[in-house]
Chains A and B, each alone.
Chain A
Amino acid sequence: MVVAPSSRRSFLRGAAAGLATLPVVPAATLLGGCGGDDAEPVEDFSTTPPGRIPADVNGDAELLGGALAAEHRQIAAYLSGLPLLEAQALADAERFLAHERAHAARLRGLIAGLGGPDVGPRPSYDFGLPGTAADVLRTLHRVEQETIAVYMQIVPRLSDPLLRATAASIAAVEAEHDAVVLQRLGRQPLATAFVTGAP
Chain B
Amino acid sequence: MSDLDVVEGALRLERVVVASYGAALRDGPLDPALRRLLRRLREQEREHAAVLESELDALGGRPPAAPAADALARARAELGLRHPLDELVTASDVERFSIELENAQLSLYLDAVRELADARLLQLATQIMAAEGQHAAVLRGRLSELPEVVVPSAFETGDAAIP
User: Residues on A close to B: CB < 8 A?
Assistant: 88, 91-92, 94-96, 98-99, 102-103, 106, 148, 151-152, 155-157, 161-162, 164-180, 183, 189-190, 192-196
Judge whether A168 and B151 touch: CB under 8 Å: no
Q: Which B residue's beta carbon lies closest to that of A101?
A: B154
Question: How far, in angstroms, from A192 to B129 measured CA to CA in the complex?
Answer: 12
A-B pairs, top 6 by smallest CB distance, nearest first, are A172-B133, A195-B130, A193-B44, A175-B130, A172-B156, A102-B154
Q: Which residues of B contact A161 (CB under 8 A)?
A: 113-115
Judge whether A179 and B126 touch: CB under 8 Å: no
Q: Which residues of B contact A152 (CB under 8 A)?
A: 123, 126-127, 130
Judge whether A88 and B145 touch: CB under 8 Å: yes
Interface of A is mostly: helix
Judge whether A177 and B151 touch: CB under 8 Å: yes
Asked if B48 is at the interface of the complex by the 8 Å CB criterion, the answer is yes
Q: Which residues of A contact B154 (CB under 8 A)?
A: 98-99, 102-103, 106, 170, 173
Question: How far, in angstroms, from A44 to B106 measured CA to CA in the complex?
Answer: 32
Task: For residue B34, give the distance in angstroms from its CB to the closest CB of chain A.
Answer: 14
Task: For residue A85, give the distance in angstroms from its CB to the closest CB of chain B.
Answer: 12
- CB-defined interface of B144-163 with A at 8 Å, one 1/0 digit per residue? 01111011011111000000
Asked if B72 is at the interface of the complex by the 8 Å CB criterion, the answer is no
**Residue A176 contacts which of B40, B115, B128, B133 (CB distance < 8 angstroms)?**
B133
Judge whether B133 and A156 touch: CB under 8 Å: no
Judge whether A190 and B126 touch: CB under 8 Å: no
**Residue B106 contacts which of A103, A172, A195 (CB distance < 8 angstroms)?**
A172
Of residues A88, A102, A168, A177, which shows the largest number of chain B Cβ atoms within 10 Å of its Cβ? A168
